[in-house]
Amino acid sequence: MSAATDRTAGMRTTGRDRGARVPLSVVIATTKAWPEIKPCLDSLHDQAQAVGAEVLVGDGHGEGLPPDVARRYPEVKWITWPGGSVFSLRELAMIQACGEVVAVTEDHCTVGSGWCERMLKAHRNHPEAAAVGGVVENGATARLIDWANFLIVFGPFTAPIENGEQPVISLQANISYKRRVVPREMSRLGMMEFLFNRQLHEQGEILIADDQLIVSHNQTWGFWGTFAAHFHNGRSIAGFRLQRMSWMERLMRLGGCAILPVYLLWVTQGPVMRKRRLLKPALASLPLTALVVTCHAVGEFVGYIFGPGNSPQQLV
């Protein structure tokens, strides 16, 4: 393990020598100070070592990892970019990753036992796959607002999921990509897996779902913070889309925001209701979920008019 440090454009990189090929890279972005990411790294690091993987942490805070990170987590490569959004941090780390497979999870997630090995196995079993996603379960179950926050994004990816080729797979909490499709240079706003996965599917790439890949999503924004976060998420999505959108498409998206809350409830809560396993918390949190998707729609509306603003930097 090298202790080399590279400072360019305000970024610091420490860890494994660049160019050393490994079977798996795991990318995590964080914008919070240590020890926010500690449960994630504790769940991941030993199993990463066992399969010869590297772990890349894109740190937008500057103190997202402890000073003795090399001793605690020798496989971690620390990339600092103060003020960077989670989207830019993930893309930067993915570009610097050395793995044949590049996996992504979030700093508030914990991965299941054997997650790294199962991720590699899934890609070996599906050499044709551009991406593999798994199951995401809610680890923040004490409050209905946290259920609303979780189910809006990850409801369709709670167990059980259908294995094999799918048009949509789980997002940044539990996904991995073949190296050949990983971005090679930075884009203006960074990497949004929701849109990147859709682009891969539209290009004819194969997306695989595997229910043996399990991650727990442990996030709470608080009551008002949840509404704000989903506003910023909606505005960020609009900002990303504007990069490839004509004026006619922009006008259509603006008009579509009027029915977007109903659509979002249908596509996110419908699968949860049909699975029935989480029916009780889904029904109990439904009024809050309806308010949250309305905030998301307002965010998209504002984004299509004014662009993303600083909304990408508000998401953690």
pLDDT in tens, 71-113: 999 999 999 999 999 999 999 999 999 999 999 999 999 999 9
Which is nearest to 175 in space by CA: 190, 156, 150, 197? 197
Over residues 139-145, mean pLDDT: 97
Question: 154: exposed, middle or buried (C-beta count within 10 Å: 0-12, 13-18, 19+)?
Answer: buried
In a domain, 307, yes or no: yes
In a domain, 112, yes or no: yes
pLDDT of res. 19: 60
**CA dihedral angle for residue 187, residue 192, residue 196, residue 198, rounded to 10 degrees:** -140
Q: Are residues 114 and 22 in the same domain?
A: yes
In a domain, 35, yes or no: yes
**46 has pLDDT over 70:** yes
In a domain, 147, yes or no: no
Residue 84: give its domain's CATH number.
Answer: 3.90.550.10
Per-residue pLDDT of 24-39, as tens digits, reads 999 999 999 999 999 9
Q: Are residues 23 and 118 in the same domain?
A: yes
pTM: 0.93
Domain count, the chain: 2
Percent of the chain with pLDDT over 90: 93
**9 has pLDDT over 60:** no
Q: Are 190 and 312 in contact (CB under 8 A)?
A: yes
Q: Are 222 and 316 in contact (CB under 8 A)?
A: no
Q: What is the pLDDT confidence band of residue 12, given thresholds at 50, 70 and 90? A: low
Per-residue pLDDT of 211-240, as tens digits, reads 999 999 999 999 999 999 999 999 999 999
pLDDT of res. 4: 29
In a domain, 148, yes or no: no
Which is nearest to 261 in space by CA: 299, 223, 226? 299
Q: Are residues 204 and 278 in the same domain?
A: no
**265 has pLDDT over 80:** yes
Calpha distance 214→216 (Å, rounded) = 7
Q: Are residues 18 and 117 in the same domain?
A: yes
In a domain, 304, yes or no: yes
Which is nearest to 177 in space by CA: 119, 213, 131, 129? 131
Over residues 52-58, mean pLDDT: 98
pLDDT of res. 142: 96
Which is nearest to 215 in space by CA: 52, 39, 59? 39
Over residues 15-25, mean pLDDT: 74
Q: Are residues 209 and 245 in the same domain?
A: no
Q: Are residues 57 and 182 in the same domain?
A: yes
In a domain, 98, yes or no: yes
- Find out whether the peptide bond into 183 is cis, omega within 30 degrees of 0: no
pLDDT of res. 21: 87
Per-residue pLDDT of 160-190, as tens digits, reads 999 999 999 999 999 999 999 999 999 999 9
198, 217, 236 — which closes off a domain? 217
pLDDT of res. 20: 73
Q: Are residues 58 and 183 in the same domain?
A: yes
Q: Are residues 250 and 307 in the same domain?
A: yes
Calpha distance 293→148 (Å, rounded) = 9
pLDDT of res. 17: 52
pLDDT of res. 53: 97
Integer distance in angstroms from the first to the last C-alpha of the chain?
Answer: 29
**268 has pLDDT over 90:** yes
Q: Are residues 183 and 257 in the same domain?
A: no
Q: Are residues 96 and 244 in the same domain?
A: no
Residue 81 lies in domain:
5-141+153-217
Q: Are 162 and 72 in contact (CB under 8 A)?
A: no
3-state secondary structure the chain: CCCCEEEECCEEEECCCCCCCEEEEEEEEECCCCCCCHHHHHHHHHHHHHCCCEEEEEECCCCCCCCCHHHHCCCEEEEECCCCCHHHHHHHHHHHCCEEEEEEEECCEEECCCHHHHHHHHHHHCCCEEEEEEEEEECCCCCHHHHHHHHHHHHHHCCCCCCEECCCCCCCCCEEEEHHHCCCCCCCCCCCHHHHHHHHHHCCCEEEEEEEEEEEECCCCCHHHHHHHHHHHHHHHHHHHHCCCCHHHHHHHHHHCCCHHHHHHHHHHHHHHHHCCCHHHHHHCHHHHHHHHHHHHHHHHHHHHHCCCCHHHHCC
Q: Are residues 92 and 227 in the same domain?
A: no
Q: Are residues 27 and 136 in the same domain?
A: yes
Percent of the chain with pLDDT over 70: 94
165, 182, 217 — which closes off a domain? 217
Per-residue pLDDT of 288-303, as tens digits, reads 999 999 999 999 999 9
Q: What is the pLDDT confidence band of residue 8, given thresholds at 50, 70 and 90? A: very low
Calpha distance 264→204 (Å, rounded) = 25
pLDDT of res. 84: 96
